[in-house]
Structure 1
């Protein structure tokens, strides 16, 4: 099918805009006729992390025309350069206009690897296609826009609750975090002491939803209060066990810890990201160490314990090893930090950027 794309026009309007002195950006879109060129009234958008749902940019264009009447799908794409070798889809619509929120634009440029809190050049284009297989794809010419992204913590953290675990059935009692795999964001583990009893997994401390219970041998999500409360997960024996949770398929398993070493006498966070900070061991389980909030600068940290330095290469979560290097701290913030002295696993949650 031969297709033609009518002359198109972008109109970008940012609701949070810094003043700019550069010449107005211009955009042309390929067509069978001479392209229509338009002036834009902005070329900079500062993204506001305090109001992530607020509108940031509105993109509008004229309707693409195909040789036969057909529903058309439009995709707004972002890229770090004009050739769009790597692009990120920000939104999809059947209309000729879309308003992107602060978080939608921020997520798009974060996925492209943009550095938080710096002005950087981004490019926007609109892709049109027809049919469920995205046939007859056409692109507008890209237009440049400067964006100032904020940091977006990309992970979900989960917490234990229930009589089998340290906090009992209190959903806001320093509930210990599950340790997320550094290379699989759906995989979580917790190696520690369990009672022979029942528990659940919380998405947020202080709230009973979302939560995971069990149904038919797999994890069962209760997303909202109006949904039925699933049965609790059972720890069938007391002792040190490794709970493994895979949220990609809602499976979980237990494995016994055969040889439990002596707990560390102390654990301290040290490094150029902040001063020395002593962690506290859970009374329920002296192998689980934490600090609920400590300020860190951009830089790196290690865990100091038993006269040795434990480090790793992955930010936010991973496994620390003796002389394993420095753990990167990519953004300045107050962090909640957890460390497991049996496995070396750690979790670092930037409190002002997480849910």
Structure 2
């Protein structure tokens, strides 16, 4: 049975808008539920999304125009689901008044993420078109369902930063297992590092450090806004970067004495702080392993010889799944955010969203962790 709906329209005659002062009602038109919409099968059934060319076209959907028994402009919504029952459908793309729409690789990748498909794995996408009219999408009618295989790409879209300097374990060596800063999962522009720093010989140039964007590369590098040589040690201030903010190298961060400090840097506000941290009551662990469904077997982290509260593994293969840090005392530390976050004792397992070889660092003072993919 078709449903009839009364709709009012303002008429345009020969492109000229006409006005009337009569008391007559606007002309009334009747639209009915559209005839069947047929979504054509795709000419290809397997699509591997090219993460390096996200602006390239990926696929085109074609369907027949709806017929609502009036000359109206139809709305079309292409809807995706990860199951044929469309229990949680998401709009992938839309069109108005046409019978086809093309999606780019990037748009398709985003749409498959919305329905929860894991990256780098082939999965089935179910699609249909929903036709309607009006600003409130009235008289909606769905097409048949088609399906196709998609392998989503993955782009690790974060920046990572590393310590260098004679106040750190790496000294002034830009490729010496330089410890990474820990990214704030709620603010990708803010990083912290809580750990041991040394003042060395105690001179003006000792206890200094800068921030690198790549191990083995001196540029880009970040430091204080002061010129090197006149860069007094201060707890807070503005940052500068070469080549981001200036041509010459920036000044050096620093600490006044041996000890534990929390260094925080914000690349959005271009500011930093360095504050003392009391580690006197911290637990001393002799062993920490990573365990969970993301790893084939329990794997022991290496304890830093420079800072006993810092643990790492330079390369470990992790699968899609979850993991946690388990201490020799039986404490299980985990967090709810992928790639970086703050673990707590008894927290939810850390999600690993894509398989790769990872560099993993864990700070048992703060629970900070970071997992840096090596190939993505």
TM range (shorter): 0.5 to 0.7
Q: Could you tell which deviates more after superposition, 340-349 or 318-327?
A: 318-327
Matched, 1:322 2:345: yes
Deviation at 1:247, TM superposition (A): 2.2
Matched, 1:265 2:286: yes
Equivalent pair of 1:43/1:145 in contact (CA under 8 Å)? no
SS of 1:185's partner is: strand
Q: How many residues align?
A: 291
Matched, 1:280 2:319: no
Equivalence for 2:123: 119
CA RMSD of aligned residues (A): 4.4
Equivalence for 1:232: 251
How do 1:1-355 and structure 2 match up within 5 A? Answer: 42-44=43-45, 46-47=47-48, 52-53=52-53, 55=56, 57=58, 80=80, 100=104, 106=109, 109-110=112-113, 113-116=116-119, 117-121=121-125, 146=148, 147-196=150-199, 197-215=207-225, 217-223=237-243, 228-238=247-257, 239-260=259-280, 261-272=282-293, 273-314=295-336, 315-353=338-376
Distance of aligned partners of 1:219 and 1:100 in 2 relative to their CA distance in 1, 3 Å threshold: farther
Q: Distance in 1 between matches of 2:349 and 2:264?
A: 26
SS of 2:194's partner is: strand
Equivalent pair of 2:49/2:58 in contact (CA under 8 Å)? no
Equivalent pair of 1:301/1:311 in contact (CA under 8 Å)? no
Structure 2 unaligned regions, length at least 5 = 1-9, 13-37, 61-76, 94-100, 130-142, 200-206, 227-236
Q: Distance in 2 between matches of 1:351 and 1:240?
A: 29
1:219-266: CA deviations, max 9, x gaps?
Answer: 223347x96133233213231100112222122111211233253212
Q: Distance in 1 between matches of 2:216 and 2:370?
A: 19
Deviation at 1:203, TM superposition (A): 1.7
Equivalent pair of 1:313/1:324 in contact (CA under 8 Å)? yes
1:74-98: CA deviations, max 9, x gaps?
Answer: xxx997479xx97789xxxxxxx99
Equivalent pair of 2:261/2:274 in contact (CA under 8 Å)? yes
Which of these two proteins has the greater Rg computed from alpha carbons?
Answer: 2
Equivalence for 1:128: none
Q: Distance in 2 between matches of 1:173 and 1:207?
A: 12
Q: Distance in 2 between matches of 1:223 and 1:120?
A: 45
Distance of aligned partners of 1:231 and 1:210 in 2 relative to their CA distance in 1, 3 Å threshold: closer
Q: Distance in 1 between matches of 2:276 and 2:369?
A: 20
Deviation at 1:298, TM superposition (A): 2.3
Equivalent pair of 1:45/1:56 in contact (CA under 8 Å)? no
Q: Distance in 1 between matches of 2:161 and 2:313?
A: 16
Equivalent pair of 1:178/1:189 in contact (CA under 8 Å)? yes
SS of 1:155's partner is: coil
Equivalence for 2:203: none
Q: Distance in 1 between matches of 2:310 and 2:219?
A: 25
Q: Distance in 2 between matches of 1:122 and 1:248?
A: 40
